[in-house]
Amino acid sequence: MAEARRIVAAIALALSFASTAFAADAPAGVASDAAVRFQPPIAAPTAADPALEARMLAITGELRCLVCQNQTIADSHADLAVDLRQEVREMLRRGRTPDEIRGYMTDRYGDFVLYRPPLKASTVVLWLGPAALLAIALVALTIVIRRRARLADDHFEADPVFDDDTPEPASDPLSRTGTPA
């Protein structure tokens, strides 16, 4: 970490030296252009009320974009997501609670809009499906292992046995005694 800070400091020093060296050799108008070019960009504020923006992002981070379907409304750049973010902002300004906003969205778009749908009869497959699939896979694996354990050795191919005195087959590309492949 300290090494990275030293490298960043060295680069910043080199850039500031380059801008001052360029400014000393250049005419007055060009020097001011170089100084402007080497200024770090200043981030513009994203919202007039950062607390409201943070609350809006927290709520929209739990809601699925209906266009993209694999992104939250907070992450999506779809027109519908932009409109829904603005609608959530307006609802927060009017004093609505996060639960009221989620309720409004589910009333309007259904449980699909929620990344964490509630446990009820229509969503039980979403909640129990992965556990059921894992249980089925474990049962199948146990059955296969038990069946293979009961088989006699003659049902399996024998492993090739190489003695130290026996040369390896010449068809092996890594063989030292065979011809190169």
- What confidence tens digit (pLDDT) does each residue in 17-30 have? 444 444 444 455 44
- The 3-class SS string of the chain reads CHHHHHHHHHHHHHHHHHHHHHHHHCCHHHHHHHHHHCCCCCCCCCCCCHHHHHHHHHHHCCEECCCCCCCECCCCCCHHHHHHHHHHHHHHHCCCCHHHHHHHHHHHHCHHHECCCCCCHHHHHHHHHHHHHHHHHHHHHHHHHHHHHHCCHHHCCCCCCCCCCCCCCCCCCCCCCCCCC
Q: 32-58 pLDDT, tens per residue? A: 554 455 555 554 445 678 888 999 999
Q: Per the confidence metrics, is the pTM higher than 0.85?
A: no
83 has a pLDDT exceeding 90: yes
